[in-house]
Structure 1
Amino acid sequence: MHRLHEIAERTPPGRERFIDLLRAVAILIVVLGHWMVIVVTGGDGGVHGFSALEVLRWGRPITWLVQVLPVFFIVGGFANAASLTSHLRGGGGAGDWLLDRSARLVRPTTALLVTLAAAALVAHLAGADSDVVGRGVWLATIPLWFLLVYLVVVFLTPLTHRLHRRAGPAVPAALVVLVAAGDTARLAFDVPALQMGNYLFAWVAMHQMGFAWQDGTLPVRPRVAVPLLVTGAGAAVLLTVAGPYSISMVDFPGEHLRNLAPPTLALTSWATAQLGLVLLLRDAGERFLKRRVPWTAVIAVNAVILSVLLWHLTALVLVIAAVSGLGLLPLPRPPQHTGAWLSWKPLWLALSLTVLVALLAVFGRIETRGLRRARAPRAWWTPAVLGRPRPRAAATVAGYAACVLGLLGVAVAHPTHRGPLGLPAAALATFLAGAALLRAARAAGGRRAG
């Protein structure tokens, strides 16, 4: 706690504290939303699950309040633009900036994947049902979809930031047109693959909005924020209520046209409204965070915020295993009996939070340790050639590509039949190879440890 107070006291006067608050709030809402929407039931000799949105139609409009991933990408754009600009002004290169940025993302993810693989192997050797273990690992790795996309967006930041400096708002506007084109093709031909580009176009567009906020291209003024809020919200309502898009901003099985995976024009419109709202709240948020206690709390949460995202569904899996194995709580049978499982939801949330805190006590240190180290020690196995700029740049590109491909392999794998590691072995090996390559490049260049 004393160290947190010291960090709070040393905060530069010009730091945009509201950005840190938005990042923390967005991830915490995502965590709570996942815990709320996943319902566990018993019956038929096993444990089953479903999304509450499948049966609670009244809950679908509420998802507009908890769908805050656009805010995270907007905030990420602001933070990445500020960091990259500062790095380049200090004489650094884009490649070394990418190495620094990869440190905090890759190290905690490596810990998650290795731990899940080890736990699955132990369960396999103990004779556990491989399909059950596979489903548990699949559920625990759902957050990697988010990290996969964010890694790609971060990798593209030097290029997209350069485009922003040249074309400004024309870049996100063009990306939104591409999102609309993907949706139109999907609706016209009923071929989901035609919409896959939206995974990149939509999230990069939101990231570009953060660039515009950071450099003042998008002024923090009510005359700008209010039109963004009204226009974005109005378009989202028209597209969902009167248009073809789902009213739910969180996906669930059975939807014909989902809004999140991949992102749609409706979600992009809602992101515009959210941008207008946070711009309206910015000044009040900055005044609030000048106080020592709330700002210290924001610092504490942000120190482990990626670990919170990565481990929150693992916490839920452990609770499910304990409840089903030890019979700690009743497991209602049919999903239609909403009263039964809704009444137990507060206790499920409390148990999940308790387990998550325990996991953070162990694995949160991995994230904070990378922040405390100023330099990455050069290991004996680090190739000397990576000390030169061009080979290090090539290693950075290859490392990012391997990490992304590895995460993609994990994300698209079937929930069951995943082998003794609970994860596709080739995908896991690819990610670990990419992580090692980035680690070696950081060490060779004297970059921050990750």
Structure 2
Amino acid sequence: MSWEQQGYQQQGYGYGYGDGNGQEYGGHEQPQYAQPQYVQPAYPQQTCPQQQYVDYGQPVAVEETAPLPPVEPEPEPEVAVVGEKPAGEAAEEKPPPKPVGRDRYFDTLRAVALIRVVTYHTFGWAWCGMVFPSMGIMFGLAGTLMAKSLERPALKVVRSRLRRLLPPFWFWGFFVVLAMLVHDWMPHWEIAYWIVPFGDPPGNQWGVQAWEILWYLRTYLWFVLLSPLLLKVFRAAPVPVLFLSLAPILVLTFVWSGPEGRLGNEMWDFSTYLFCWILGFAHRDGVLRRMKPALVVVLSFAAVGYGGWYAFSHQGEVGTYDLDEIPLAQAFWSAGFVMLLMWAKAYFAIDFAWLTRFRRLDRVVTVFNARAVTIYLWHEIALILAVPLIDQFWNVPAFEKYLPLESQWFMFGVGWVLIAVFVVACGWVEDVAARKKPKLLP
């Protein structure tokens, strides 16, 4: 089965903010006279017109980049100028609206998810998925972005997602396929899956560590293609559809295990993360925000509890409690975990705006989100190359004496250095796919 989980624009999420502090001006006070009757002033009374402000409303998510998944940026809303200037007065320029920013809460979740994926693939700790179920979080964020994007024509949105996803995949795949061909791999017609990964692309055992991560792109692609239909079904009956989205994984686990081969793998992965994707719809449409806090907490802890119990009670069958190896446990643990994160975001309006005060940290989060596809695709190759590179360090006496060459933590550090190299060397492909000017760093 798929490896654990674990990817922002989405790509990321932006917010606009309104003024909201309009001020009203009334007329002049009437003068007081000794006579009981009202005396009209000799000059015409002037009244300052009420200054009007535009209400920019609630924050609107703006998609800029694809973290996993790639998305098109939304156009900024037009600002209408309300009210006229009094005659004879110099026209006052209305201050421009604050620039649209990014939702740093979702950006931070995406960045942490990518870090957790690299950590898991370095150390192989089974508990990583329970501490932070990266893949469930990534699918939840992608579902939210997709629901926002589908406010535009569905065909345009799907084409945009494919355009954002496929060029980085092709660029990465060229080197992987070429390396496998050099190592005696001869593909058949199935090489078509290296063009559009509707199914798992083929490969030989020599390159399996590099291409086994493609299950995420394949599953994401199917979610994108089916989202117009899924969103219509969800909006017809939001709460029932949300909870029924757990039914497919229950059927595959207890009733019918599905067919063998590519189709079976696709069904299992799609069913495992269907709830998280639909949960993204629920967050975008405000369904989670309207749910009672007590109900959300009870359901979330119940799902996490059942997923954890199932993982530990069935570890004898697969030899581990790793959620990546137990799809039903993964589905329920991710469902409860992601529901709590999404609900907290909606209910408490968490935005992590404070992150912008820490320039370096904010910069790191920005790079992770703008280069999420690159980091995800190239991180395994970076870890693979770290091994022979560290082997060469043993030939340098000073390195052998002072560096912890046998430590996995050292390999972890070298891996991140190589990931940074790939981000600089290959990340520009994401800019090209997004029809932006290529940059070494966003």
Match of residue 353, structure 1, among 416, 426, 430: 416
Kindly name which structure, 1 or 2, has the bigger radius of gyration based on alpha carbons: 2
CA distance in 2, matches of 1:109, 1:195: 20
Classify 1:140/1:328 alpha carbon distance in 2 versus 1 (closer, same or farther; 3 Å).
farther
Match of 1:419 in 2: none
CA–CA separation in structure 2 for the residues paired with 1:191 and 1:156: 22
The one of 219, 234, 256 aligned to 1:149: 219
Deviation at 1:61, TM superposition (A): 3.9
The answer to whether residue 126 in structure 2 is matched with residue 60 in structure 1 is: yes
Instruction: Identify which of 111, 128, 147 aligns with 1:24.
Output: 111
Distance 1:343 1:285, change over 3 A: farther
Q: Once the 2 structures are TM-superposed, how far is the Cα of residue 225 of structure 1 from its aligned partner?
A: 3.9
Q: Which residue in the other structure is 2:26 paired with? A: none
Query: Aligned runs of 1:115-154 on 2, under 5 Å?
Result: 115-121=175-181, 134-154=204-224
SS of the aligned residue for 1:151 comes to helix
Query: What TM-score do you get using the length of structure 2 for normalisation?
Result: 0.62
**In structure 2, distance between residues paired with 1:329 and 1:230:** 52
Match of 2:230 in 1: 160
Find the aligned partners of 2:271 and 2:245 in 1 and give their Cα distance. Answer: 5
Aligned pair partner of 1:75 in 141, 159, 162: 141
**TM-score, normalised relative to structure 1:** 0.61
Cross-structure match for 1:301 = 368
In structure 2, the residue matched to 1:273 is: 336
1:36 alignment partner in structure 2: 123
Contact 2:387 2:411 in 1 (8 A): no
Aligned equivalent of 1:12:
16
Read off the aligned partner of 2:331 and give its amino acid letter: T
Percent pairwise identity: 21
Q: Partners in 2 of 1:238 and 1:311 — Cα distance? A: 34
Deviations 1:7-62 (Å, cap 9, x if unpaired)?
Answer: x9x9633244422222222122112211222xxxxxxxxxxxxxxxxxxxxx5345
Aligned to 1:246: 315
1:104 aligns with 2:173: no
Deviations 1:101-156 (A, max 9, x none): 1122111110011022234456679xxxxxxx954422111221111111111111
Distance between the aligned counterparts of 2:149 and 2:265, measured in 1? 32
What runs of 5+ residues in structure 1 fail to find an aligned partner? 1-7, 38-58, 88-92, 126-132, 248-252, 331-340, 375-450
| Aligned equivalent of 1:311 | 378
Pick 1 or 2: higher relative contact order, CA cutoff 8 A, min separation 6: 1
CA shift digits 1:159-179 (9 cap, x unpaired): 111111112122232231221
Aligned to 2:324: 260
Helix, strand or coil for the counterpart of 1:288? helix
Structure whose residues are more often helix by fraction? 1
Q: How far apart are 1:344 and its partner, in Å?
A: 1.0
Q: Please provide the CA RMSD for this pair.
A: 3.7
In the TM superposition, what are the counterparts of 1:160-239 in structure 2 within 5 Å?
160-185=230-255, 197-219=267-289, 222-239=293-310
| Corresponding letter in the other structure for 2:377 | L
